[in-house]
Amino acid sequence: MSRKAIELGCAALVCLGICGTSFGKYGGGSGTSKDPYLISTAEQLNAIGANSSDWAKCFKLMADIDLSAYKGTKFNRIGTHFVLNPFIGVLDGNSHTISNFTYDSKYTDMAGLVGCLGKGGLVKNLGLVGVHVTGGRFVGGLVGFSLYGTVIKCYSSGSVTGNKDVGGLVARVWLETIVYSFWDVQTSGQSKSLGGEGKTTAQMQDINTYLIAGWDFLGETANGAANIWFMPAGNYPRFVWEKDGL
Ligand SMILES: [Ca+2]
């Protein structure tokens, strides 16, 4: 191999080392608050949990994501321990939903899409539809364990089971802020959660539940004119941009 070829090869490797950290893993962005990593596919969403070095970064969903391809424990939880390895970044659902999130391991503590949310961690504007989570202790649909984390305008429906400290939306909360977030006590099978507010299916499908909490719906102006949500009959709140597809 010529010296030139070796030099070119080395240059390419250096570039891969520098540029390769996010390239291909997510759908774009650099992980900052102004330029979050963009998540458009189930693979990209699952890549967050596989890269704990990114757990202080910012992520933004760019599409509804169906996780039904990930059975058992194939989905990588985002944040796995509330002290050693929490998620302390931002997961902005950007008015999208994640459906069919499954995590099935009765011996795993801190089970949830976000296993552990730590100080500074934020999950917002995200709907979880049809979750199926089984774990040990601290089992939640959206968040397993939260220590000083924040959840804003999220909802969750589906089944959540575990041995101890099980919650529909967030299993265990410690000094955290949960703002305007709900979970379905009937489909989740959980009447209690230390975060969020449990509602019956009828209440979850009643626009007034959300209007009182300040959600900005289409057809009302008291909660704002951005009109982020609408309420299809007999369903959970949906984001307005989904309206044409329903
Ligand atoms: Ca409105």
CA 153 to ligand 1 centroid distance, Å = 15
Mean pLDDT, consecutive 10-residue stretches, the chain (246 aa), reads 56 46 81 97 97 97 96 95 90 94 90 90 90 85 85 83 75 60 72 70 85 84 84 80 63
At 170, list the tokens: 């967030």
- For residue 69, is it within any domain? yes
Query: What's the confidence (pLDDT) of residue 240?
Result: 77
CA 208 to ligand 1 centroid distance, Å = 13
At 28, list the tokens: 């774009």
CA 195 to ligand 1 centroid distance, Å = 26
- For residue 15, is it within any domain? no
Q: Containing domain of residue 53, as a range? A: 30-204
Give the chain as a 3 state SS string.
CCHHHHHHHHHHHHHHHHHCCCCCCCCCCCCCCCCCEEECCHHHHHHHHHCHHHCCCEEEECCCEECCCCCCCCCCCCCCECCCECECCEEEEEEEEEECCEEECCCCCCECCEEEECCCCEEEEEEEEEEEEECCEEEECCEEEEECCEEEEEEEEEEEECCEEEECCEEEEECCEEECCEEEHHHHCCCCCCECEEECHHHHCCHHHHHHCCCCECCCCCCCCCCCEECCCCCCCEEHHHHHHC
CA 43 to ligand 1 centroid distance, Å = 34
- For residue 210, is it within any domain? no
CA 228 to ligand 1 centroid distance, Å = 7
CA 187 to ligand 1 centroid distance, Å = 28
CA 213 to ligand 1 centroid distance, Å = 13
Task: Report pLDDT digits (tens) over 35-63.
Answer: 999 999 999 999 999 999 999 999 999 99
- For residue 131, is it within any domain? yes
Query: What's the confidence (pLDDT) of residue 242?
Result: 67
CA 240 to ligand 1 centroid distance, Å = 10
CA 211 to ligand 1 centroid distance, Å = 9
CA 135 to ligand 1 centroid distance, Å = 38
- For residue 209, is it within any domain? no
Query: What's the confidence (pLDDT) of residue 114?
Result: 94
CA 219 to ligand 1 centroid distance, Å = 6
Task: Report pLDDT digits (tens) over 156-197.
Answer: 887 787 877 777 677 666 655 565 677 777 777 776 665 667
Query: What's the confidence (pLDDT) of residue 110?
Result: 86
- For residue 222, is it within any domain? no
CA 86 to ligand 1 centroid distance, Å = 35
Residues with CB under 5 A from ligand 1 (ion): 216, 220, 227
- For residue 246, is it within any domain? no
Domain count, the chain: 1
- For residue 115, is it within any domain? yes
